[in-house]
Amino acid sequence: MRCDARGYVTLSRLKQPGSTQHRSSLTMFTFSLTLVRHGETQYNRDKLLQGQGVDTPLSETGLQQADAVGRYLRGITFNDVFASDLQRAVRTAEIILKNSTHSSGPEMVLEPLLRERGFGVAEGRPKDDLKNMANAAGQSCRDYTPPGGETLDQVKLRFKKFLKVLFKRMLDEHCLSAADAPARASEPEGAANGAEAPGSGAADDGLPGVPVHALVVSHGAYIRVAVKHLVEDLKSSLPAGVKMSQLFSPSPNTGVSRFVFTLSRGEGGPVLAACRCVFTNRKDHLGKLPAAE
């Protein structure tokens, strides 16, 4: 297994388990995916674009935010942890794992597919510069792609590639052990059809009855594209009473979103049977800490 200089592996470099040994008789398998945006950096505070080319550390506030979200999630047993390989995401994930009450936590996997959207020539510049460039091009700031930057479709393609590998990894590594989970663990009561009940604000909202949990630490623009893909393209069921503006709003630093996936094993690989949104952009854990966007 090859590692980077920090000792972490990359998802694409992991040896995939053999298909015969890890297959099970389960026809359905469910896991949760908790998405967390990294903590604040000085560039966030100063409203400067980072993208992929500016790799800045967490600010003091960002470290406090990461500790807060780590304490919020500390009781959840994450079976798999993935992070963008940019240092603001890596450090946030490290602090989350440090707070975990489960001493033998999973190995963190660094994945370039989880990097922030590339903003090309706008990286390192004020966000207002991007708005001015978009206005000059006659486009909205959200849809505008600066020279050398990534389009939203390119970011979505990266997320789709990550999901494809993630789904296969979940089935190959966890479907066998999930066979010992309680009956109908793949469809928590009341969540198989229709809208998800509103969350209570608890860290384990949406998790009872779900046997396997994955954590992803990524970036604001990336998570926004990911949520939009899950809701609009994969037709995720939504919490009762949620507004689309809330779903697609920018995630605050260390904002938490959660989806639950049900997979089946098809001849060509994993097949998505159901997707449901539990909540998005939750920031209860921050209390009085700033939640810069």
Q: Where are the domains of the chain?
A: 24-284
Q: Does 135 have pLDDT greater than 80?
A: yes
pLDDT band at 15 (very low <50, low <70, confident <90, very high): very low
pLDDT value at residue 192: 41
pTM for the model stands at: 0.86
Q: What is the pLDDT of residues 73-122, one digit of tens each?
A: 999 999 999 999 999 999 999 999 999 987 567 889 999 999 999 999 99
What is residue 7's predicted lDDT score, i.e. its pLDDT?
53
Annotated binding-site residue numbers for substrate? 37-44, 88, 127
Strands (E) across 156-285 are located at 212-218, 256-266, 269-282
Please compute, for residue 68, the number of CA atoms within 13 A of its CA located in the half-sphere on the CB side.
Answer: 24
- Residue 18: burial class (beta carbons within 10 Å; 0-12, 13-18, 19+): exposed
**For residue 275, what pLDDT band results from cuts at 50, 70 and 90?**
very high
pLDDT recorded at residue 88: 99
Q: Is pLDDT above 60 for 146? A: yes
Q: How far apart are CA 38 and CA 30, in angstroms?
A: 26
| Confidence at residue 217, expressed as pLDDT on a 0 to 100 scale | 99
Q: Tell whether the model's pLDDT for residue 184 goes beyond 70.
A: no
CATH of domain 24-284: 3.40.50.1240
Q: How far is CA 8 from CA 14, 143, 150, in A?
A: 11, 34, 26
Please report, to the nearest 10 degrees, the dihedral formed by the alpha carbons of residues 135, 158, 109, 234 taken in order: 100
Q: Kindly tell me if the per-residue pLDDT of 1 is higher than 50.
A: no
* Whether 30 contacts 263, CB under 8 Å: yes
The answer on pLDDT for 24 being more than 70 is: no
* Residues making up the chain, counted from first to last: 293
Q: What is the mean pLDDT of the chain?
A: 86
pLDDT recorded at residue 27: 74
State yes or no: pLDDT of 54 exceeds 50: yes
Mean pLDDT confidence for 156-167:
98
1/109: higher pLDDT? 109
Residue 193 has pLDDT above 60, yes or no: no
| Active site positions, annotated | 38, 116
Encoded amino acid at 36, one letter: V
Listed in sequence order, the DSSP H helices in the chain are: 19-22, 42-45, 60-72, 87-99, 127-136, 152-178, 220-228, 244-247
Is it the case that residue 258 has pLDDT exceeding 60? yes
